[in-house]
Amino acid sequence: MIKLNKMTDYGIVVMVHLAEAEGAVATAPDIAAATGLTQPTVAKLLKTLVQGGLAKSQRGAQGGYALARPAHEISIVKAIEVLDGPLSLTDCADDDHDSCERVDCCPMSGRWKRVNDAILGALENLTLADMMPYNFFLDASRPAAKPAEDGAASTEPKFYGA
């Protein structure tokens, strides 16, 4: 079974939350509260996302984090690579034949690369926007952010779709 590790999964959750903020900055504590993740986990993921160029940070009293690009411009494969490293089913799928002591007699040598390339191709065509709740960008009936008592937008978690 091909399975993402938990931190990669959580990283996508954090990125979806940032995408839902529609360009507004969000703090690590706010993201943690909205997603149910721990604050240290969110902080670690945000650091990785900033270093990988997928998120940006803003310092100061109005500081926080936002996506570095619109969600529809961030491929899922790029997000996985930033969070977990290059996606590869086997060592020989990424041409790392040095780590295999059976490369000379292996009937599968080089054949996993086709499978790996097909998976990478599918993920490159899937963007962070595709991971958003159902019809997030298209649903005109989705509720607008509720104004807080002081007139600012609410930081309550938003849940859309089915």
CATH number at residue 103: 1.10.10.10
In a domain, residue 18? The reply is yes
Which residues, 6+ apart, have CB-to-CB distance to 136 below 8 Å?
Answer: 20, 129, 142, 160, 161
State the residue range of the domain holding 89: 6-131
Which residues, 6+ apart, have CB-to-CB distance to 103 below 8 Å?
Answer: 92, 97, 109
Per-residue confidence in pLDDT tens, the chain, 162 aa? 678 899 999 999 999 999 998 878 999 999 999 999 999 999 999 999 999 999 999 998 889 999 999 999 999 999 999 999 888 777 666 555 556 666 666 777 667 778 888 888 888 889 999 998 764 555 444 444 333 344 444 444 443 333
Can you tell me which residue has the tokens 């609410």? Answer: 154
Which residues, 6+ apart, have CB-to-CB distance to 93 below 8 Å?
Answer: 112, 113, 115, 116
Distance CA 21, CA 157 (A): 10
In a domain, residue 47? The reply is yes
User: What does the pLDDT read at residue 90?
Assistant: 72
**Domain count along the chain:** 1
In a domain, residue 49? The reply is yes
In a domain, residue 159? The reply is no
In a domain, residue 54? The reply is yes
In a domain, residue 117? The reply is yes
Indicate whether this model's pTM tops 0.75: no
In a domain, residue 143? The reply is no
